[in-house]
Chain A
Amino acid sequence: MRRPALKSMSLIASALFILTACTPASPEDSSKTLKVVYQKTDSFTALETMFQAAKQEFEAANQGVTVELQPIQGNDDDYGTKLALALRSPSTAPDIFYEDTFKVRSDVDAGYLLKLDSHLEGWADWEKFDDGAKAAGRADDGGTYAVPLGTDTRAIWYNKKVFEAAGISLPWEPRNWQDILDTARKIKADNPSVIPFNMYAGKGTGEGTVMQGFYELLYGTGSTLYDEESKKWVVGSAGFKDSLGFLETLYDEGLAVTPAEALDANVWKKVFGEWFPTGKLGATVEGSYAPSFWQEGGSYEWPGYAQDMAVAAFPTQDGGSPGAVSMSGGWTLAIGAGTKEPDLAFKFLNSALNRDNSLKFTLESSQIAVRSDVAEDSGYQAANPFVKDVSGLVSVTRYRPATSDYPRISAAVQEATEAVITGAKSPEQAAADYDAAVVEIVGGDKTVRK
């Protein structure tokens, strides 16, 4: 009696095990589902609002189709990692997802994105998109793989009250790096408890370090990170060393935050939520989306920001042409290469990015519009007092060389800035280490001395 019971029990157990192991692979039922993956954080809910609206419209117009929204909670880095992991396997890959422009090229190389050219031909709205922004979704083969949601620029945001208190005449328009240092020293001399001029640095702030900091310096020296003509990475440039030298001066003289604060991944929250509103920070380099944090409904509401804050373009090293530097990034929507419903997915993308949804998203997240009908809207132009200033920087803006090697190169740059601001290395040493790192990442034949 005992043995057969044992035998049948173990048989049942193993059968159960095999059955449960099989369940995830069972075929889907006939109703169609579109899986949408995007980022959502406490301070960034504009996309959630947009997809909720699009889901309602789309499900009402297409009976039998379910749109499954899967927000990922996390910062940009964590979101990117989680998305890439989901994309690796066809069973977890989303149909539609929110994709950083700087990952488009490498994700196309990896075969994650669907080529959209044939779909875009039949979409009337496509011609309303800005040509520069369209380029962000284009891969090395000339095809378009992603549709831009919005773009951004970067500038110096400064607190007028802090500047006035230090006796600096407004509007402040720095002509070169020396102007920045002079002004910062003046503010510090006037009130040592104020952080005069902050620039992100180190690995803690990730891409923020390079996008809102190092590249504004580097691209103003006449040097560049990547030579687009020869398709090679630049090493041994004097501009790279000078840029690190500028950061060293800022941090050494205590004009920026302390190195310990700079390496905290949450330092930007203090910039927006604490230091600017309370007048503890003179200026920082930040994105055109800055007002989205302060305006009504933002995560750090500050009614006085329109009066207290002002924008200045980041100058070149010695005031040389074109006089100002800005960086642009932005996000797109893309469709998974393995989607079973490419047509439906594209239709959903269309309704998510129609004029009304785009306008709302652009306003809520303080983006720079990429659709001409959004840019012309009076609501957009009156959204905040800085729209004109930051939109004007599009004429001098730069994009990252987002090849598949870029994430490692960017990490190497961040490491160089961290070594310099913590005093671990001199700018010369850090630049030399960066050069060695680049050679190791891409190989010596893909670098050029400039």
Chain B
Amino acid sequence: MGERGLLRYLPVLPALLLLLVFLAGPVFWAFQASFTNTGLTGRNARNPEWVGLENYQRLLLDPVFPLSLGLTVLFVAGSAVLGQNLLGLALAVLMRRARRAVSSLVGTAVVAAWVLPEIVAAFAAYAYFSRDGTLNQLLGGLGMTQPDWLYSWPMAAVVLANVWRGTAFSMLVYRAALNDIPVEVAEAAQMDGAGGWQRLAFITLPMIRGSIATNLMLITLQTLAVFTLVWVMTAGGPANASTTLPVLAYQEAFKFGDIGYGTAVASVLLLIGAVFGVGYIRLLREGKR
């Protein structure tokens, strides 16, 4: 590569530096801190020591960890892969057929949840699901039992809240993808006698395969990192029944002041995200072939 070749990369340099400083830096710091006993206060705040794999050993023995891992999988599978993804696709498909007024009304309603800042959305969801909240008042009006959602069904509540908040993203991705399908293809299939479901399964879905993989990757990674929503709604309770990995990491690092252990949890989360990311990228490549 000559001088000219190297210079070609110069414009990328600022972005690369930014990524290194603000993304790779913290990741590296967290990874390194997870091998120490760094504390938020106390003697370990001043003189943290290298403890090797001790934090990870503790993690394996901690009964909360497998629970938290399971809840995280449940949260991602329930709210992202199934909820946001399928609902977003269904909305996108239906909106193509609906009248313009209906489709713009529905679109606005769905996007409204997404436009809200996360903390506001979280408070709205809390107000909706709480003991004297909107949902229970509706149920009460219909004469039905009013369970304490955040206490009896905390995971169901946070999964539903995250579906509500995140569906707009999938819907927008799929609407864009569906608009790219040439009308002729659908018309040709219709001429050949394909019904609605058949067209969806054999024409539409294969043609937007790339968008599906991209969307799945993005919402999986976003949902893995959801913290505010869960923290505001249940704070991981009751009795750890909704402690996903980000909540666990926060509790350990900041509530108990054990930054070393908290960053170990965060590192595991990072690893899971990386595995998912690599998986989806491979899927994308196969889709292109």
The chain A residues found within 8 Å of chain B, CB to CB, are 3, 6-7, 9-11, 13-14, 17, 21, 77, 81, 84-85, 87-88, 103, 106-107, 109-112, 202-204, 258-261, 263-265, 404-405, 407-408, 411, 418-419, 422, 424
Q: How far is the CA of A41 from the CA of B238 in the complex (A)?
A: 25
Nearest 5 CB-CB pairings of A with B = A404-B42, A110-B45, A260-B151, A106-B42, A10-B11
Candidates A7, A103, A263, A404; contact of B238 at CB < 8 Å: A263
Given contacts A77-B255, A407-B256, contact A260 B148 (CB under 8 A): yes
Which of A9, A14, A84 sits near B41, CB closer than 8 Å?
Answer: A84
Cβ of A258: which chain B residues have Cβ within 8 Å of it? Answer: 148
CA distance A405 to B151 in the complex (A): 30
Which of A87, A111, A263 has the most chain B CB within a 10 Å cutoff? A263
Assembly CA distance A217 to B242 (angstroms): 30
Q: B41, A109: Cβ atoms under 8 Å?
A: yes
Chain A residues, CB < 8 A from B151: 259-260, 263
CB of A441 to closest CB in B, whole Å: 9
Interface string of B227-249 (1 = CB under 8 A from A): 00000000101110000000000
Which residues of chain B come closer than 8 Å to A103, judged between CB atoms?
41
Neighbouring A residues of B239 by C-beta, 8 Å: 418-419, 422, 424
Residues of A within 8 A of B254 (CB): 81, 84-85
Q: Given A109-B46, A260-B238, A21–B21 Cβ distance below 8 Å?
A: yes
- Residues of A near B258 (CB, < 8 A) are 408
CB closest residue in chain B, given A425 = B239
| Given A84-B41, A84-B257, A407-B257: A14 and B14 interface contact (C-beta under 8 Å) | yes
Which partner residue on chain A sits nearest B149 by CB separation?
A: A260
User: Given the complex of chains A and B, what is the CA–CA distance between A264 and B127 in angstroms?
Assistant: 13
Indicate the size class of the contact surface on chain B.
20 to 34
**Shortest Cβ distance from residue A85 to the other chain B in the assembled complex, whole angstroms:** 7
CB contacts (< 8 Å) of B42 on chain A: these are: 106, 109-110, 404-405
Q: Does B260 have its Cβ within 8 Å of any Cβ on chain A?
A: no
Interface centre among A3, A6, A203 (most CB of B within 10 A): A203
Structural contact, A265 and B40, CB atoms closer than 8 A:
no
Contact A261 B257 (CB under 8 A): no
Which chain A residue has the least Cβ–Cβ distance from B45? A110
Within 8 Å CB of A3, what residues of B?
Answer: 7
CB within 8 Å of A: which B248-284 residues: 254-258
A9 and B11 CA atoms in complex are apart in Å by: 8
Enumerate 17 A-B pairs (CB-CB under 8 Å) in ascending A order.
A3-B7, A10-B13, A21-B21, A87-B41, A106-B41, A106-B42, A106-B257, A109-B41, A109-B42, A109-B46, A111-B45, A202-B237, A204-B237, A259-B151, A259-B238, A407-B255, A418-B239
Chain B residues with Cβ below 8 Å from A13 are 11, 14
The yes or no answer to B17 lying at the interface (CB within 8 A) is yes
Min CB distance A246 to B, Å, is: 20
Query: Is B238 in contact with A109, judged by CB distance below 8 angstroms?
Result: no
Taken residue by residue from 149 to 160, chain B's Cβ proximity to chain A (1 for < 8 Å, 0 otherwise) reads as 011100000000
Residues of A within 8 A of B21 (CB): 21
A418 touches B10 (CB 8 A): no
| Cβ-defined contact, A422 with B257, below 8 A | no
| Contact A265–B238 (Cβ < 8 Å) | no
State in angstroms the CA–CA spacing of A408 and B39 once bound together. Answer: 12
A110 to B17, CA, bound (A): 33
Of the listed residues B39, B40, B41, the one surrounded by the most CB atoms of chain A closer than 10 A to its CB is B41
| CB-based contact B43/A110 at 8 Å | yes
With A260-B131, A411-B255: A202-B46 Cβ-Cβ less than 8 Å: no
**Residues on B with beta carbons closer than 8 Å to the beta carbon of A419:** 239
- Measured between beta carbons, the chain B residues less than 8 angstroms from A107 are 41
* A17 pairs with B14, CB closer than 8 A: yes
A residues in contact with B238, CB < 8 Å: 202, 259-260, 263, 418, 422
Alpha-carbon gap, A10 to B17, bound state (A)? 13
Is the pair B237, A88 in contact by a Cβ cutoff of 8 Å?
no
Contact among B17, B46, B131, B255 with A14 in the assembled complex (CB-CB below 8 Å): B17
Docked complex Cα distance between A418 and B42 (Å)? 27
* C-alpha gap A259/B148 in the complex (Å): 11
Q: Complex Cα distance A272/B21, Å?
A: 48
Closest to B152 in A: A260
Excluding A111-B46, A422-B238, 15 further A-B contacts by CB distance (< 8 Å) are A7-B7, A10-B14, A21-B21, A84-B40, A88-B40, A103-B41, A109-B41, A109-B45, A203-B237, A263-B237, A404-B39, A404-B44, A407-B256, A419-B239, A424-B239
Residues of the A chain whose Cβ atoms lie less than 8 Å from the Cβ of B152: 260
CA distance A13 to B46 in the complex (A): 38
Q: Name the CB-closest residue of B to A258.
A: B148
Pairwise interchain contact B40-A81, C-beta atoms closer than 8 A: yes
Q: Is B46 a contact of A110 with CB atoms below 8 Å?
A: yes
A21 to B20 Cα, complex, angstroms: 13
